[in-house]
Structure 1
Amino acid sequence: MDAICMDRVSVRVTVEGSDAAKTLLHDVTLNLTEQRIGVIGANGSGKSTLLRLLNGLVEPSEGTVVVHGQDTVSAGRRVRGNVGFVFTDPLSQLVTPTGREDVELSLRRTVKNRKERTARAEAVLDRFGLLRLADQSIYELSGGERQLLALAVVLAVDPAVLVLDEPSTLLDLRNRELLRTTIAGLEQQVVMSTHDLDLVLGMDRVLVVDSGQIMFDGEAAEAVAYYRHACATALNADQLGGTRR
């Protein structure tokens, strides 16, 4: 399988009102070849920055990011054509009034025939159990239905890599299970951040991110155990500090 390679990548941003740049990621080197890769960590740890590097939404301040042979800076447009990105909030990427229109819009560049495009869109929507909602306003859908629709829109164009930033946040149990089984059956290389530790246990490899660095990189069960222990240790330290004050 083609790899996702990060070589000594750091990301820094300028904070308004401060002379010093804020470091979001620091000196990250990875070679990701597995089919299913999970990313876990606390809010603000750098998970989303790591994921956004993969399709050029964020560019490295130092180092290089190469996705399946393409540099995300010098070949950013080609990378974005090969990397599908699903955001936490589906309304940030659903741009037309209905699901049918959104899926057809994503297919417009690759499927020129209108009838074929309609048929393809219906097949994609049916795959996610959304065909009955195809012509309903996206604002009338539940949060979970919107999230599944966003996933359908991205997968309609068959990207080589699928990146999901906390996709289960708005899902109920039924739709979470649908998401899990869908991810398990995809041909694409999948990189997913999540707070759902049960969901991440199905991954081939899991990264634990903290303070902009990779603190653990290994098998899913071991990564989850490491993260649970790190969270418990931090909580105990905070409670101890509060007692002393």
Structure 2
Amino acid sequence: MSVIRCAGLGVRLGGREVLRDVSLDLSARTIALIGDNGSGKSTLARVLAGLVRRTEGDLRVLGCDPDRDPAALRAKVALVLSNPDAQIMMPTVAEDVALSLRAARLPRRERDARVEAALARFGLDGLGDRPAQDLSGGQKQLLALCGAFVREPALVIADEPTALLDGRNARRVADHLLADAGHALVLVTHDLALARRCESAVLIADGRVAASGASFDVVDAYEEALAC
């Protein structure tokens, strides 16, 4: 099954055409979206996550139409943003992770076990009772990953997840996102070394697909264009 399949996708926001005639058929497990600021790559990520409605064209994300079946999409997709403070909603670390499981209506024992396992997976075990806002920036982003992965999503969409982190924490977050843990990944990034770690890449320019293919080929072409 394709991770993303779209044809003639277009988006208008505030009367401005942000994406136009975007056509893709991507089945790689890890996909980087790259391009200049304002190119439309973050808008495309939000369309894939069901946060922005397309104006025209066809779209399937893991076989779901985000506009026609948003509930099915939400069950399969998790979103990670660059600023974890925008995602932390609850007072304590464990409560914030548990919030992601509310819709699943799990028995309390199962919910608590999944929260504990997620915290351990992301190196936050022992911090469940800590106020979430007391964590460091790197720990907050790991908490955001906890909240995303505890739901066991089929697809994670991450928009500049390492942009605000130091090198050590950026590497930790990237390693978790790229690890083959049963999920696909769409990664919006300006970090071209990180983009190269993905299997495929899509270059967005002026709201259109400028290139798509193996990550090294697409990133190399983008770097050559930047040098001109």
1:11 paired residue number: 11
Note the C-alpha offset of 1:109.
Answer: 2.8
1:223 paired residue number: 218
**RMSD of aligned residue pairs (Cα, Å):** 1.4
The one-character-per-residue Cα deviations of 1:15-34 (angstroms, maximum 9, x if unpaired) are xxxxxx21111100011111
1:105 paired residue number: 99
- Out of 45, 60, 63, which is 1:66 matched to? 60
Aligned residues: 227
Q: TM (normalized to structure 2)?
A: 0.94
Q: Does 1:39 align with 2:33?
A: yes
Q: TM (normalized to structure 1)?
A: 0.88
Distance in 1 between residues matched to 2:106 and 2:182, nearest whole Å: 24
Structure 1 regions of 5+ residues with no counterpart?
15-20, 234-245
Note the C-alpha offset of 1:2.
Answer: 4.1
Which moves more between the two structures, 104-113 or 49-58?
A: 104-113
Which moves more between the two structures, 85-94 or 150-159?
A: 85-94
Contact 1:147–1:170, Cα closer than 8 Å, also in 2: no
Q: Does 1:194 align with 2:189?
A: yes
| Structure label with greater radius of gyration | 1
Give the 3-state SS of the residue equivalent to 2:198 in structure 1.
Answer: coil
Distance in 2 between residues matched to 1:104 and 1:125, nearest whole Å: 11
Structure 2 regions of 5+ residues with no counterpart?
none
Contact 2:10–2:19, Cα closer than 8 Å, also in 1: yes
Q: Any residues of structure 2 matched to 1:122-161 within 5 Å, and which?
A: 122-161=116-155
- Out of 79, 82, 87, which is 1:85 matched to? 79
Q: Does 1:169 align with 2:157?
A: no
Distance in 2 between residues matched to 1:28 and 1:113, nearest whole Å: 43
Contact 2:3–2:184, Cα closer than 8 Å, also in 1: no
Q: Does 1:208 align with 2:203?
A: yes
Distance in 2 between residues matched to 1:70 and 1:88, nearest whole Å: 25
Note the C-alpha offset of 1:171.
Answer: 2.1
Taking only the aligned residue pairs, the percentage that are identical comes to: 40
Distance in 1 between residues matched to 2:220 and 2:4, nearest whole Å: 25
Contact 2:2–2:25, Cα closer than 8 Å, also in 1: no
